Structure 1
Amino acid sequence: MTSVFSTVSGRVRGRAEDRGVVAVLGIPYAEPPFGADRFREPRPRRAWEGIRDCVEYGPISPQSAQLPGAPNWAPCDEDILSLNVWTTAREPGAGDGPLPVLVWIHGGAYTFGSSAQPDFDGTALARAGLVVVTLNYRVGFEGFGHVPPDGTHFCPPNRGLLDQIAALEWVRDNITSFGGDPGNVTLAGQSAGATSVACLMAMDGARGLFRRAIAHSAVGPVFAPELAEHFTRKVAAEAGITATQAGLAAASPQALVQASDAAVEAYRQEPRTGHLSWDPVIFGPVADGHLLRADPLDLIAAGAAPDIDLLVCHTTQEYWLMDAVGSCVEATNEEELARFAADFGLPDSLTAGYRRLVPEATVREIQLAVYGDLSFGEYSNRLADAHARTGGRTFLSRFARQRGGSGPGVYAWHCADIPFAFGNLAAESVQFLIGGPPTPADHRLSDRIVAAWAGFAARGEPGWEPVDDASPDAIRVWGTADPDRGPDFWRHGATLRALWSGFTYRPEQP
């Protein structure tokens, strides 16, 4: 098996992994987005001479997060637009034809995360017959902050999405050398990565770059331009600079990271900031009317991508993770629960409906259930509904695996499904997510989800029926026989969804 591959920019050398897989890590797909290129569209990577050793992950985007098992960002890191490839390809011409390709976009509230997290190692999926690509893109202000025009230069919004398109273009132009089929690409992501996938499904700039999509726990809606401008003024004030292109460009990436963190904390400490006081996220895709014309849910409902197969999943207890890590302000009584609902524009009947479904649930449990469904569960389901109604082949699943009993317990919470989908349950860094070392039942569940992803990426067939008029309830539920932990509102799936029938997602306003 070869470990040297040719790209349009030059040759790269990877490293051997387990059981015939080669990992080629930290391949640059665009120029470093700093200096004169800061806040601009990504530029193609210049060619290099000789063979470039690609055996370590590349630097990550500016951020303050320090995630288990992943590298931290350092202010000197600039070559951040890189990707990683896992393949079982042999010498050209020695195989049985090109392999299907899966491209992964990480989540992290558009503010943190990277392709180097241990959860996203592509070895198991490569052994399942895929060429796997994971990528870094600009997050935080560098990727999604609004930069006002100055009359000379235009700094596009949604730069993080433009980075993702550039990575997909790299896949189109180079993946054949790694044994992959550029005509059979599946784009996958979770949380912010899942909504990135939905955005790219609806963006003209990504047209033709992938034929299938996997969206786990898509979060919505996207921002209105006025909200992005509002957050820029807030971040600039925290940084002590003017909210102009010149002022923002003069501030270091580290200064904008620190100012962004300060802005989030200020929103969290001030109840009068409405929904931003509960668990503020200040960066995300912007419905700018040009690059991204509207919220992807509306665009997909209007038939933006009927030719793309879609697999949607969400967990049944999404927001319990945010409670565990302390990011969500707690509603401790009925008055605070009512304020929570009002701050998000939810009808009074919604929380009452959740209480009727699970009468024994506490105020906190109702808040977490509503918050998780508002942010992830209902939005994800509406993406599936909208795509199916416009003729797109759509598959729907839910991740319900919990762990109770006498050991460390976990819910079916946000992010817990991803180590199962990548087959990376043994990584020490994921044990918090899955509640300790995996059991034999966990490994069997992971094998089934890996096979579903591989089947969907290869043939558009994950192993169950698509959602359509004949099979409106064709939903695969992923779980094990572990004891239940916490209230499971999703046992009342159809009734639960009916509670949301009067709610409409709109791009977030200031």
Structure 2
Amino acid sequence: MIDISRAGTEFRTTSGAVRGRRSPDGVIAVLGIPYAAAPFGPHRFRRPQPVVCWSTPRDCTGFGPIAPQSAELPGSPVWRPGDEDILTVNVWVEPRPDAGPLPVLFWIHGGAYTFGSSAQPDFDGTALAKAGVVVVSCNFRVGFEGFGHVPGLPDNRGLLDQAAALRWVQENVAAFGGDPDRVTVAGHSSGAGSVACLMAVEEARGLFRRAIAHSVPNAFFTTEVAASTTSRIASAAGVAPTAEGLLSASPQDLVTASDKVAEQCGADPVTAIQAYDPVVFQPVVDGDVLPTDPLTALASGASRDVDLLVCHTLEEYWFLHEVGAVREVTSEQGLAEFAAALRVPAPVVDGYRVLMPGTPVLDRYLALFGDATFGEYSSRLAEHHAQAGGLAYLSRFARRRVRPGGEARPWHTADVPFAFGNLDADGAAFLIGGTPDEQDHALSRRMLRAWADFAASGDPGWAPVTAGATTVKRWAVPEDDVVDDATSRVRALWREVPFDLLRSKDIG
């Protein structure tokens, strides 16, 4: 191990020495460190394999290549055919030689299990490192490479990649000043879904002490649905839906075919819900890598030794509507058809009409969609974990501002730049609804502090959920507040509604 108080920007890992860069404010970033071998060639569609060691210090001053995808995100790198060494981690640390081992926050990016990377500007770990946390983020396989079903080969390869990256943390983070006994795995959206899954994955057991999950989606496939999706993608790629056929298709072929199938879901979905939200990749409850869905796992007490901090935003789906990611519903008949597809009982639909009098159908649709997919599911994760004997905290992002030309809503992804302390990052203005003011910066400091404190001690600063009470921290401007969900009229609508977590079993 290297003494980081004297070693500048060079650190020794189990695979070889790495050299990062130091920012003017003293934070060292070591980027693009391989944690597993390139998952192509003989390793394609298989479990992550050990990385080949190197003998001379490796330059790690820039992010590694990202996983195959078609997305082009603001300020982020794009995938180019031929990029293969995609399984890398990044580390940010402010050396504190007198502080002892620092808590570690391990970040998993979102992107509908289909796109995204650790190099997105709003995921920069500098501000959290300044708060006394070693930040680690990782790239992993997404889309078909990571979550497509391949007969005879492991499902959930993206989750296996994340577990491999967490093992890298256990073996190496001490060299960067981190404490391997205080690792918090954190993520947003499909990244939060990954966090919830990792709490149920045996290969990840013991690799982290705490978990932070922002906007956890109620989104899982059965093996049958995953296989049906593969058949459509294989057909679009012009290959057989077999391991041999899929291996003959290039990563670019499968990205193009997957995009084509997603575009067709509005008229011809694999499952009913995809007519409204055409996500074609989700974790597969395969009975092996992912033995059961996270809500069932947490309710059984399988991860009661992991402290859990959950957050969701109040208007999740307004963002997805704004970016054109979901079907628009504007009539009562359309709303009824949507509710049937999502299996939302009629009394719940009627209840939203009462709670939102005079509002357009579109607003009720987006509210229902957001609460069913993110809000209620996230809340139940915290409650089930607490009822099973685990320590759980629940929060909601409620910050709202009236801006020239519109309103900055508390929508999906708006909370992430606040928690990272990256309100001025490239692309953040769209996520948070404009230029941040001092109240926004103050809110960001409070949220970042809660993350850092939770990673350090398991206490973010408010009362936990208990078996008898759901206490909720609401992040807002100018001030936050704490409420009891017993008074929530929205939660009351859902209280008696059972969640069929594998609703996607119905193949269209």
TM-score range (shorter-chain normalised) is over 0.9
Letter in 2 for 1:84: N
Aligned to 2:168: 170
Deviation at 1:201, TM superposition (A): 0.9
What secondary structure is seen at the aligned counterpart in 2 of 1:249? Answer: helix
Change (3 A) 1:74 1:226: same
Unaligned runs of 5+ in 2: none
Aligned to 2:200: 202
Letter in 2 for 1:68: P
Deviation at 1:166, TM superposition (A): 0.3
The answer on 1:110 being equivalent to 2:113 is: yes
CA distance in 2, matches of 1:408, 1:427: 21
What secondary structure is seen at the aligned counterpart in 1 of 2:396? Answer: strand
Residue 304 of structure 2, aligned match among 287, 303, 306: 306
Deviation at 1:346, TM superposition (A): 1.3
Deviation at 1:481, TM superposition (A): 4.0
Deviation at 1:493, TM superposition (A): 6.1
Aligned to 2:472: 475
Deviation at 1:502, TM superposition (A): 1.9
Letter in 2 for 1:122: G
Residue 67 of structure 1, aligned match among 64, 67, 73: 73
| Length, aligned pairs only | 494
Q: Residues 346 and 503 of structure 1 are in contact (CA less than 8 Å); yes or no, is this contact kept in structure 2?
A: no
Deviation at 1:29, TM superposition (A): 0.4
Letter in 2 for 1:312: V
The answer on 1:41 being equivalent to 2:25 is: no
Deviation at 1:408, TM superposition (A): 4.8
Which stretch shifts more, 309-318 or 277-286? 277-286
The answer on 1:57 being equivalent to 2:63 is: yes
Q: Residues 18 and 123 of structure 1 are in contact (CA less than 8 Å); yes or no, is this contact kept in structure 2?
A: no
Deviation at 1:492, TM superposition (A): 9.6
Residue 257 of structure 1, aligned match among 255, 258, 281: 255
What secondary structure is seen at the aligned counterpart in 2 of 1:19? Answer: coil
Residue 134 of structure 1, aligned match among 133, 137, 162: 137
Backbone CA RMSD of aligned residues:
1.6
CA distance in 2, matches of 1:142, 1:328: 24
Where do 1:329-348 residues align within 5 Å? 329-348=327-346
Deviation at 1:276, TM superposition (A): 1.3
Residue 19 of structure 1, aligned match among 1, 18, 25: 25
Aligned to 1:225: 223
Aligned to 1:86: 92
Deviations along 1:4-34, one digit per CA (max 9) or x if unpaired, are 0000000000001242110000000000000
Change (3 A) 1:493 1:253: farther
Where do 1:57-456 residues align within 5 Å? 57-89=63-95, 94-149=97-152, 155-270=153-268, 274-456=272-454
* TM-score normalised by length of structure 1: 0.94
CA distance in 1, matches of 2:348, 2:464: 29
Q: Residues 89 and 95 of structure 1 are in contact (CA less than 8 Å); yes or no, is this contact kept in structure 2?
A: no
Percent of aligned pairs with the same amino acid: 55
Change (3 A) 1:251 1:333: same
Deviations along 1:16-63, one digit per CA (max 9) or x if unpaired, are 124211000000000000000000000111110111010000000000
What secondary structure is seen at the aligned counterpart in 2 of 1:27? Answer: strand
Deviation at 1:102, TM superposition (A): 0.4
Change (3 A) 1:303 1:419: same
The answer on 1:10 being equivalent to 2:16 is: yes
Q: Residues 105 and 183 of structure 2 are in contact (CA less than 8 Å); yes or no, is this contact kept in structure 1?
A: yes
CA distance in 1, matches of 2:298, 2:130: 33
Unaligned runs of 5+ in 1: 150-154, 483-489
What secondary structure is seen at the aligned counterpart in 2 of 1:215? Answer: strand
CA distance in 1, matches of 2:24, 2:341: 50
Deviations along 1:199-248, one digit per CA (max 9) or x if unpaired, are 11111111110000000000013111111001000101111111010110
CA distance in 2, matches of 1:179, 1:460: 19
CA distance in 2, matches of 1:29, 1:115: 14
Which stretch shifts more, 265-274 or 293-302? 265-274
Q: Residues 357 and 492 of structure 1 are in contact (CA less than 8 Å); yes or no, is this contact kept in structure 2?
A: no
Which stretch shifts more, 215-224 or 245-254? 215-224
Deviations along 1:329-357, one digit per CA (max 9) or x if unpaired, are 11111111101111111111111101111
Deviations along 1:429-482, one digit per CA (max 9) or x if unpaired, are 111011111110000000000000000000011010111146x13211001149
